[in-house]
A and B are shown apart, each in its own frame.
Chain A
Amino acid sequence: MIEIKKLNKKFGDLHVLKDIDLTVEKGEVVVVIGPSGSGKSTLLRCLNRLEEPSSGDIIFEGISIMDDEHHDINKLRQKMGMVFQQFNLFNHMNVMENITLAPIKLKNMNTEEAEKVAKDLLDKVGLMEKEKSYPAQLSGGQKQRIAIARALAMSPDVMLFDEPTSALDPEMVGDVLKVMKDLASEGMTMVIVTHEMSFAKEVADRVIIMDEGKLIEQGPPEQIFNNPQHPRAQDFLERVINLF
């Protein structure tokens, strides 16, 4: 479904992503881990071109997302939902408006239809009663679940999660992870950047370890966590696993 070929990203002199090759299959849950500064988030943000790749190509459902001449990146982004570390709910809109804005404006849904979809999604993330609330009135965990609902409202083919639980108080993390688990079990294709190792173990079909802009190891979670091959991967896992 997504095919990344020789992807490079430079910020000035800083070489953040180095020749990344990666394929994500339909229905697959790929979890990206690695030390901070290793380029995980940049990789994820390149997938919908919130970051402009410096070179290389990304093929999404058979279409190069770099091909501006033949394909509208805005149309492609509609099929790639994204969830951010800082939630980024629209602060001047209530929950219902947050969720229905894009479907109404971009998919020509009428308000009634869009609100019905939104209500189903709110039910799914367990926040039915919050439709009239403003972001400022919600807790971090609630905001993030609304943000997931907002992304799902466009019925995307893939969901990108950029450290979705890193800005949350510990007691909120579970609610958000549960929503993500449900999504995974429904067969949603997901690419997740996270520090939640136990979540990665449980939900991932494949775990990827990045270090200094390179993809150093990938495989099923049992293999990655129990028997990492690359010395830097061993080093990283030793440090994070010891935390638990």
Chain B
Amino acid sequence: MDFSFLADYYKFFINGTQITVMLAFFSVLFGIFIGVFLAMFKISSNKILKAFASAYIEFIRGTPLLVQLFIIYYGLPMFGIEFPDFPLFGQNVGDFMAGVIAMSINSGAYVAEIFRAGIQAVDKGQMEAARSLGMPYGMSMQKIILPQAFKNILPALGNEFIVVIKESAIVSIIGIHDLMYNADTVRGNTYKPFEPLIVAALIYFVLTFTLSKAVGYLERRLSTD
């Protein structure tokens, strides 16, 4: 094996890693946002919200991410929703947006189930105590239930971040210059089919391994009991 190509091409890997991390970060951020609301809908007593959340979660979890990505990327423009078409830091912003939207919609469904389980694991008495003091439902959720649920689900949420980082490799297919896409570019330019993939795999592993260690640390810090 010969890794001498790195001298000329290391920048491809650095840039690709940046895009991958940013993509995963925004996807998880919006995914959490979507997930919290879906989870609240799913445990609410409103039948319409409940049905909507259930349908969303079942559909997203029951279809491939690749299909969802294509539906967003090719489908939205057909309905007149055009993605912007200009580069930023060497990356087409529209493509990046399509990737983040598809990944967050996807991740939201999984995060919703994580949150739902976390919320339901908080003792019922906590909500009752909050309500008995006169706190409205929303405030009780925000101040009492969600902070405790969040602590319960932190490991699962960290896992979801790791899954998103790995699955984000799929967005290279719509031309986002992420780690996978750039590794592929290097393979083409150097006529080395194998070594660039090893480099990409190592970088993915360092990202996910570091993250799982960080989550473990945070988990220990947050435990008060």
Q: Smallest Cβ distance from A48 to chain B, in angstroms?
A: 6
B131–A77 CB distance below 8 A = yes
| A101-B134 contact in complex given A91-B225, A136-B225, C-beta closer than 8 Å | no
A16-24, A80-88, A173-181 - interface stretch:
A80-88
In the complex, whether B132 has a CB less than 8 A from a CB of chain A is: yes
Q: Smallest Cβ distance from A186 to chain B, in angstroms?
A: 21
In the complex, whether B172 has a CB less than 8 A from a CB of chain A is: no
In the complex, whether A74 has a CB less than 8 A from a CB of chain B is: yes
Q: When chains A and B are docked, how far (Å) is the Cα of A136 from the Cα of B134?
A: 24
| Interface set, chain B 2-35, CB cutoff 8 A to A | none
Q: When chains A and B are docked, how far (Å) is the Cα of A91 from the Cα of B225?
A: 9
Q: When chains A and B are docked, how far (Å) is the Cα of A36 from the Cα of B213?
A: 50
Interface flags for A51-85 (1: CB within 8 Å of B; 0: not) read 00000000000000000000000111110111010
Which A residue's beta carbon lies closest to that of B151? A92
In the complex, whether A190 has a CB less than 8 A from a CB of chain B is: no
| Interface set, chain B 121-137, CB cutoff 8 A to A | 123, 125-126, 128-136
Q: Smallest Cβ distance from B126 to chain A, in angstroms?
A: 6
In the complex, whether A14 has a CB less than 8 A from a CB of chain B is: no
| Interface set, chain A 122-162, CB cutoff 8 A to B | 134, 136, 147, 150-151, 154
B74-82, B91-99, B141-149 - interface stretch:
B141-149
| Interface set, chain A 180-203, CB cutoff 8 A to B | none
| In the complex, chain A residues whose CB is within 8 Å of the CB of B132 | 48, 50, 77, 80-82, 84, 151
A77–B134 CB distance below 8 A = yes
Q: When chains A and B are docked, how far (Å) is the Cα of A88 from the Cα of B144?
A: 11
| A78-B126 contact in complex given A91-B148, A92-B224, A134-B224, C-beta closer than 8 Å | no
In the complex, whether A117 has a CB less than 8 A from a CB of chain B is: no
| In the complex, chain B residues whose CB is within 8 Å of the CB of A91 | 126, 148, 224-225
In the complex, whether B206 has a CB less than 8 A from a CB of chain A is: no
| A74-B125 contact in complex given A91-B148, A91-B225, C-beta closer than 8 Å | no
| In the complex, chain A residues whose CB is within 8 Å of the CB of B117 | none
A101–B143 CB distance below 8 A = yes
Q: When chains A and B are docked, how far (Å) is the Cα of A212 from the Cα of B128?
A: 25
Q: How many A-B residue pairs have CB under 8 A?
A: 67
Chain B contact residues: helix, strand, loop or mixed: helix
B134–A75 CB distance below 8 A = yes
Having A78-B133, A84-B132, A90-B126, one finds 14 other A-B pairs with CB under 8 Å, namely A50-B128, A74-B131, A75-B134, A77-B134, A82-B129, A88-B125, A88-B126, A89-B129, A91-B126, A91-B225, A92-B151, A92-B224, A105-B143, A134-B224
In the complex, whether B139 has a CB less than 8 A from a CB of chain A is: yes
In the complex, whether A7 has a CB less than 8 A from a CB of chain B is: no
Q: Smallest Cβ distance from A93 to chain B, in angstroms?
A: 9
A102–B225 CB distance below 8 A = no
In the complex, whether A109 has a CB less than 8 A from a CB of chain B is: no
B129–A105 CB distance below 8 A = no
| A84-B224 contact in complex given A102-B134, A105-B139, C-beta closer than 8 Å | no
Q: When chains A and B are docked, how far (Å) is the Cα of A82 from the Cα of B132?
A: 6
In the complex, whether A106 has a CB less than 8 A from a CB of chain B is: yes
Q: When chains A and B are docked, how far (Å) is the Cα of A82 from the Cα of B130?
A: 10
| A106-B135 contact in complex given A92-B147, A92-B224, A136-B225, C-beta closer than 8 Å | yes
Q: Smallest Cβ distance from B7 to chain A, in angstroms?
A: 52
When the two chains form the complex, which single residue of B125, B143, B144 contacts A84, counting CB atoms closer than 8 Å?
B125
